[in-house]
């Protein structure tokens, strides 16, 4: 359904080049839900914006392909791409504030979205808008239609965004942190809604979230990103049970949990990579308790690990007995300063 191949995206800024996405490959099955997790700044949003061809100014796709319905989206004309965006792929942006028009009542914004791709009368569009707002759990939708975005709570704005995305009845929905601002009961409701969409229409979903609980609930498969690359990808159960990449292990250790006594969280030591000056070797090496010599010089590629469904990009993946809670068991580890820098790595 969607196949991203070796996507590379860079931003040119006044100060230099930001290597935001450095060879991402992803596959989404029809009706499947792919979860995208990863460090803040690892390129999840930029990857999805590149798929939609909505990169902000300064960003460009350097290479790669985005196959969708037999076409490479990156080669479509602007008009063709607009029609794909209107009818086939919808996206819920991470930031509802910037994607809603502040001076237009939300009702009109939803109606506009409906009428942009369906020939329906105004009253019919209005009725759909009411129905959609109800579906995303907004009380008395008729009353809310006339409200401006700033008059709604953060969670309500986010649901308006979701309503707009669903209005398109897309076959692929890219949802970037769609429930971050929602309380857990409304979140559950919205996630159900996404699931209905996949069940009824057979739509596929790319779900971006750093909430591993949501991933456990929703994703069939999870891809973990770090420094603009996918470093591990596996079916959900497998990823939670047998994480292989040291970054994934670190992620699972840093989740707070409700049950039992409160314990100190174990964050991943060290700082995130500088995407303007990527290291030569594995970008995680400075923070990695598992690293070996090769990690400083060679960037490992994503390859199958145990079984064909589990991919990992690591010279020396974690063994199950190394994965439990607590500190890594390799003795004498300390996070290192960034290694010798090689500018402009492809």
Ligand X SMILES: Nc1ncnc2c1ncn2[C@@H]1O[C@H](COP(=O)(O)OP(=O)(O)OP(=O)(O)O)[C@@H](O)[C@H]1O
Regarding 260 and contact with ligand X (CB under 6 A), the answer is no
- In the complex with Mg ion, the residue whose CB is nearer, 180 or 233, is 180
Strand, coil or helix: what is 261? coil
Q: Counting Cβ atoms within 10 Å, is residue 308 exposed (0-12), middle (13-18) or buried (19+)?
A: exposed
Nearest distance in Å: CB 203, ligand X? 22
Q: Which residue is nearest to Mg ion (CB)?
A: 45
Regarding 151 and contact with ligand X (CB under 6 A), the answer is yes
Give 307's strand partners: 305
Regarding 58 and contact with ligand X (CB under 6 A), the answer is yes
- In the complex with other proteins, the residue whose CB is nearer, 61 or 266, is 266
Nearest distance in Å: CB 205, other proteins? 16
Residues 6+ apart with CB under 8 A from 262: none
Nearest distance in Å: CB 176, other proteins? 9
Q: Which of 143, 199, 306, 319 binds other proteins (CB under 8 A)?
A: 143
From 167-175, 194-202, 271-279, 311-319, give the range in contact with other proteins by CB under 8 A: 271-279
From 26-34, 47-55, 79-87, 175-183, give the range in contact with other proteins by CB under 8 A: 175-183
Distance CA 134, CA 156 (A): 11
Regarding 94 and contact with ligand X (CB under 6 A), the answer is yes
Helix%, strand%, coil% for the chain, nearest 5: 35, 25, 40
Region for residue 219 given its phi and psi (left: phi exceeds 0; alpha: psi -120 to 50; beta: otherwise): beta
From 79-87, 122-130, 144-152, 305-313, give the range in contact with other proteins by CB under 8 A: 144-152
Q: Which of 78, 139, 303, 334 binds other proteins (CB under 8 A)?
A: 139
Regarding 45 and contact with ligand X (CB under 6 A), the answer is yes
Regarding 56 and contact with ligand X (CB under 6 A), the answer is yes
Distance CA 140, CA 152 (A): 13
Regarding 135 and contact with other proteins (CB under 8 A), the answer is no
Q: Which of residues 170-199 bind ligand X (CB under 6 A)?
A: 181, 183
Quick one: how far is CA 121 from the chain centroid? 35
Distance CA 191, CA 197 (A): 10
Q: Which of residues 25-84 bind other proteins (CB under 8 A)?
A: 37-42, 45, 56
Strand, coil or helix: what is 172? strand
139 neighbors 152 (Cβ within 8 angstroms): no
Helices (H), 14-99: 44-51, 78-87, 96-99
Q: Using CB under 6 A as the criterion, which residues of the chain lie in contact with ligand X when the complex forms?
A: 11, 13, 18, 20, 38, 40-46, 56, 58-59, 94, 150-156, 181, 183, 210, 275
């Amino acid at each position: 359904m969607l196949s991203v191949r070796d996507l590379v995206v860079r931003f040119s800024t006044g100060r230099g080049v930001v290597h935001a996405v450095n060879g991402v490959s992803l596959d989404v099955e029809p009706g499947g839900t792919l979860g995208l997790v990863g460090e803040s700044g690892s390129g999840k949003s930029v990857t999805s914006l590149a798929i939609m061809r909505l990169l902000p100014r300064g960003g460009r796709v350097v290479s790669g392909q985005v196959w969708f319905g037999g076409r490479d989206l990156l080669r479509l004309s602007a008009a063709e791409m607009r029609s794909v965006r209107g009818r086939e792929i919808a996206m819920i942006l991470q930031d509802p504030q910037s994607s809603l028009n502040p001076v237009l009542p939300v009702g009109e914004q939803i109606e506009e979205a409906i009428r942009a791709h369906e020939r329906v009368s105004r009253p019919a569009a209005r009725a759909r808008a009411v129905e959609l707002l109800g579906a995303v759990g907004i009380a008395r939708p008729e009353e809310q239609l006339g409200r401006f975005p700033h008059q709604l709570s953060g969670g309500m704005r986010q649901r308006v965004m979701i309503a707009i995305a669903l209005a398109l009845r897309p076959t692929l929905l890219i949802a970037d942190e769609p429930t971050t601002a929602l309380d857990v009961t409304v979140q559950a409701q919205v996630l159900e809604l996404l699931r209905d969409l996949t069940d009824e229409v057979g739509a596929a979903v790319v779900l971006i979230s750093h909430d591993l609980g949501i991933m456990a609930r929703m994703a069939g498969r999870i891809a973990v990103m770090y420094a603009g690359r996918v470093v591990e990808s596996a079916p959900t159960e497998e990823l939670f049970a047998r994480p292989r990449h040291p970054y994934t292990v670190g992620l699972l250790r840093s989740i707070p949990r409700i049950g039992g006594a409160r314990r100190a969280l174990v964050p991943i030591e060290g700082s995130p990579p500088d995407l303007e000056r990527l290291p030569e070797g594995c970008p995680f090496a400075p923070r990695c308790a598992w690293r070996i010599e090769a990690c400083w010089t060679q960037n490992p590629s994503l390859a199958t690990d145990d079984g064909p469904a589990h991919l990992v990009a690591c010279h020396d993946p974690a063994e199950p007995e190394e994965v439990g809670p607590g500190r890594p068991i390799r003795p004498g580890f300390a996070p290192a300063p960034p290694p010798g820098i090689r500018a402009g790595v492809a």
